[in-house]
Amino acid sequence: MKKANIAVLVSGGGTNLQALIDAQKAGIIKSGEIKLVLSSSEGAYALTRAENAGIAHVTVARKQCANRDDFEEKIIEQLENAQTDIIVLAGFMCILSEKFTGKYANRIINVHPSLIPSFCGEGFYGLHVHEAALSYGVKVTGATVHFVNEIPDGGKIILQKAVEILDGDTPETLQKRVMEQAEWIILPRACEKVCADIISK
């Protein structure tokens, strides 16, 4: 059976990458295969996760590139070498240019730790998202997987899952619960959905 080639872009620990690796092993992701893990920072633990799973991995360090164009060109070169069909941003801490997102239109997905359109856009990443949700006083948050375009968190929504906010939640406890109850569930499902669409064309 033909499978879509998946590249996962990371910057840190790679917990969402691990969720994808586990989902691939469990047969949740069956229309695609992770062929490449690319990190924007050297020594990211996500690279160790890739190595442990026997997945090709590479670093394109943002700080070692002359500018964003240079950085993105080096990433594209790696993606093309791996014959990438779909790109999954899993804690990738770099905003991609319109030129890059346009080249891979409807082929880049990202998971965001809120129910878009709440608490999203530029500046909303990591704990900032959960801090904003708690300070606003919302009772329900969650995660969203969406296509990536030139607007941060602005692409078409693929899947969402809600998570209840509990009394006494801190940004840290909320972040953990949103990952466990939403991100790690819907990211693999959305990845499978997009891979299945790609190979059916």
List, by residue number, the catalytic residues: 112
> Backbone phi, then psi, for 166, in 5-degree steps?
-105, 155
Which tokens go with 133?
Answer: 């949700």
**DSSP element (H, E) containing 8:** strand 4-10
| Contacts for 188 with CB less than 8 Å, ≥ 6 apart | 19, 20, 22, 23, 24, 28, 29
